[in-house]
Amino acid sequence: MTLASLAAAGASSVPSQLLPAREQMAFTLGFHIILVPFGVAFTFLMLIANYRGIRRQDADAMLLARRWSQVAGVLFAVGAVSGTVLSFELGLLWPGLMGRFGAAYGIPFAVEGLFFFLEAIFVSIYLYGWKRMAPWPHFWSGVPVVLSGIGGTSSVVAANGWMNQPGGFQVRGGRVVAVEPLRVFFNAAFWFEALHMLLAAYMVAGFMVAGVYAAGLLRGRRDRYHRLGLAIAFTVAAVVTPVQIFVGDVAAREVFHREPAKFAAIEMLPHTSTHVPETLGGVLIDGTVRYGIDIPSGASLLSGFSPDTKIYGLDVIPAPVRPPDDLVTTVHLAFDVMVGIGFALLALALWFAVVWWRRRAVPENRWFLACTAVSGVLTVVALEAGWVVTEVGRQPWTVVGRLLTRDAVTTTGNLWLFFGATVLLYVVVGAATVYVLRLMRRHWQQPEGNGEEDVPYGPRTRQDAAVPAGDAA
């Protein structure tokens, strides 16, 4: 990443902990965020399959729901513990943020804790209720999971929105002395950020799952089970994608109006002007844009619907808090990647829609399946890029206008050790997660299955209840 330059920029009083702290936060957050869509949106796909399974006596749908719930169970566990690390890190790495602003910034997290509780409880009930609960109560035990996923995500994003557009508090003598909780939670950045993230979660889950079944179809497993898995996931993703592009457009205009510094970085605009071109790609070197492709007046048109729209450039940011060139380039390119992937996925969704409209069937030509197979990975890239835009785009601030990142960071300990241990552990856990998921797939592909094919919701027999605990799970 481009953080070394930031450290150099404000050389006066930069703690040596700043760089490792930022790297660690970026790494652990980047890891955790891949798991978020599976707790939030994948469970929704699971419920669709479950509903269809019960309503239409659809054995394939039911099998999909059961298997998805097992996958969700593993990913939820890894997500829960990697999310816990983030909570610790807020204090371990950023005591300046928590100590000074915890009274305001903490409120959305308290709300999130509530949702996380509900999510954890009902995930367990749903996951372990397959065999012994009646069909509909079991289905309904999954609904709070989806709802609390939405609530939890919104709360965390509310906290992030507050860092971008802080409000609802007063500081006197370095202490938060008055707080308006509702204005903290529903800050000016809340609505578009939360909506954007939620839709992103549904896109990631949808395209990822669709990609898995597209790969299966490509390998010749052309059965109804795979088509249904693809259809459920892809339909959700395809419905969400155009909405997401609309919300993203609104969000960008909000950033233009309310976070001019971040917008200048997104547009990679050195000088304030009108008739600003939309630069695709390119880099900022010594304050000059190079190698980009310009669409004349594009940025002005998109942000104010007129070529005369004035956009503030990096020059209006006071020099001490102006982001360095490579940081601006990072934000700009991340934005381009996110938007580019968004439109590519929109094209894929349209392809699906046209085929569905004409033939009432899932398209099965190799090109479509190959594109779908990689679409899941692309959504993850777009998700990460989006977070780079909002997080790196806020630098050097942690709380815009209120707290510099170098004042938020801890000033004790050798964080490189902590960072190294964390990377090592996460690499192992990440690899093990992938391995375990592949292992599950291998069980499922065996012709006789591993006992999970038996009918769910079976009556509870005496014999069942007293199964000897002979075979370890």
For the segment 73-112, give every residue that binds other proteins (CB under 8 A): 73-74, 76-78, 80-85, 87-92, 95-96, 98-104, 106-107, 109-112
147: CB partners within 8 A, 6+ apart? none
- In the bound state with other proteins, the residue whose beta carbon lies nearer, of 161 and 292, is 161
Position 461 contacts other proteins (CB under 8 A): no
- In the bound state with other proteins, the residue whose beta carbon lies nearer, of 243 and 428, is 428
Position 1 contacts other proteins (CB under 8 A): no
- In the bound state with other proteins, the residue whose beta carbon lies nearer, of 319 and 469, is 469
Three-state DSSP class for 459? Answer: coil
Burial class (CB in 10 A: 0-12, 13-18, 19+), 419: buried
Q: Which residues pair with 171 in a beta bridge?
A: 176
End-to-end CA distance of the chain: 43
Residues 264-293, mask of contacts with other proteins (x by CB under 8 A): ------------------------------
SS (H, E, C) 26-63: HHHHHHHHHHHHHHHHHHHHHHHHHHHHHHCCCHHHHH
Please name which of 255, 217, 201 lies closest in space to residue 389, comparing C-alpha atoms: 255
CB of 131 to other proteins, least distance (A): 5
Position 425 contacts other proteins (CB under 8 A): yes
- In the bound state with other proteins, the residue whose beta carbon lies nearer, of 178 and 350, is 178
Residue with tokens 């630098």: 395
215: CB partners within 8 A, 6+ apart? 369, 373
Report whether 405 contacts 391 (CB < 8 A). no
Residue with tokens 């089970």: 225
Position 304 contacts other proteins (CB under 8 A): no
- In the bound state with other proteins, the residue whose beta carbon lies nearer, of 8 and 114, is 114
Q: State which of residues 8, 177, 347, 350 lies at the interface with other proteins (CB under 8 A).
A: 177
CB of 101 to other proteins, least distance (A): 7
- In the bound state with other proteins, the residue whose beta carbon lies nearer, of 88 and 246, is 88
Report whether 43 contacts 149 (CB < 8 A). yes
Residues 396-415 interacting with other proteins (rule: CB under 8 A): 410-413
Cα(221)–Cα(385) distance, integer angstroms: 33
- In the bound state with other proteins, the residue whose beta carbon lies nearer, of 361 and 425, is 425
Residues 120-149 interacting with other proteins (rule: CB under 8 A): 120-125, 127-133, 144
Three-state DSSP class for 95? Answer: helix
Residues touching other proteins: how many (CB under 8 A)? 81
Q: Contact region for other proteins (CB under 8 A) — 56-64, 215-223, 378-386, 425-433?
A: 425-433
Q: Which residues pair with 172 in a beta bridge?
A: 175
State which amino acid sits at residue 133. Answer: M
129: CB partners within 8 A, 6+ apart? 138, 141
Determine phi and psi for 126, rounding to 5 degrees: -65, -45
Q: State which of residues 253, 429, 444, 457 lies at the interface with other proteins (CB under 8 A).
A: 429
Q: State which of residues 23, 180, 294, 364 lies at the interface with other proteins (CB under 8 A).
A: 180
Residues 207-246 interacting with other proteins (rule: CB under 8 A): none
CB of 240 to other proteins, least distance (A): 27
- Six-digit token string for 246: 């609309």
Residue with tokens 């395209």: 207
Position 176 contacts other proteins (CB under 8 A): yes
For the chain, state the CA radius of gyration.
24
- In the bound state with other proteins, the residue whose beta carbon lies nearer, of 35 and 289, is 35
Cα(208)–Cα(36) distance, integer angstroms: 13
CB of 158 to other proteins, least distance (A): 13
- In the bound state with other proteins, the residue whose beta carbon lies nearer, of 76 and 397, is 76
Q: State which of residues 42, 44, 116, 335 lies at the interface with other proteins (CB under 8 A).
A: 116
Report whether 184 contacts 169 (CB < 8 A). yes
- In the bound state with other proteins, the residue whose beta carbon lies nearer, of 321 and 436, is 436
- In the bound state with other proteins, the residue whose beta carbon lies nearer, of 177 and 347, is 177
- In the bound state with other proteins, the residue whose beta carbon lies nearer, of 91 and 320, is 91
Position 58 contacts other proteins (CB under 8 A): no
CA angle, 423 then 429 then 435, to 5°? 135
Residues 321-360, mask of contacts with other proteins (x by CB under 8 A): ----------------------------------------
Cα(172)–Cα(397) distance, integer angstroms: 20
Residues 360-399, mask of contacts with other proteins (x by CB under 8 A): ----------------------------------------
Cα(377)–Cα(181) distance, integer angstroms: 38
CB of 230 to other proteins, least distance (A): 24
